[in-house]
Structure 1
Amino acid sequence: MPELLARTSSAELTEWMAYERVTGPLGPERMDALFATLAATVANTARAKGRKAEPKDFMPKWDQGDKGLTDWQQMLDAVKSYNRQIGGTDSTTKGGAAGGDA
């Protein structure tokens, strides 16, 4: 992690976190899809007669649209929150305080 933080700005990391929240996990290995398939398999071994479980039944819903983020101020607050979580600085405030005033 220190190497990543040395090579990447907190602003860029925040952008990637926001992107991943909408699209789902990044990278070649989609663990969410793997575990959804595994969960469906396990559920089907123990199911009674009826509807068969499918991986989509266990997949997280990544893009929730604008739920909870209805205006620009809420979106900015969400980005500042991500920035605080990763220890970034807020260049929109005097002195660049971590996370700003949000």
Structure 2
Amino acid sequence: MTVAELLERTSSSELTEWQAYERVAGPLGPARADVQSAIVAATVANANRSKGKPATPADFVPRWDRKPTQTVEEMVAIAYALNAAFGGTVEGGKDGATQ
């Protein structure tokens, strides 16, 4: 289905609801193969473990509802550090000067 066909059949509010649902539950349709893969991964991990707690499929499924673990300030600091490490310059940087 093309985007134009989708927009003819589906309202904006319905698309927004599906988008919100996917943000919480993860992708729909074939993209949910992550759950199937997690089952296989848990089986393989358990078959090859010697001792310890058995793995569960939940141990291998990506979490789609995670919050960022870094603050905006931390992300900006990392961006400045990477820029400097690669020899970049910043026009009007933190203090307004070229760095």
TM-score band, normalised by the shorter chain?
0.3 to 0.5
Using the size of structure 2 for normalisation, the TM-score is 0.47
Structure of larger gyration radius: 2
Using the size of structure 1 for normalisation, the TM-score is 0.46
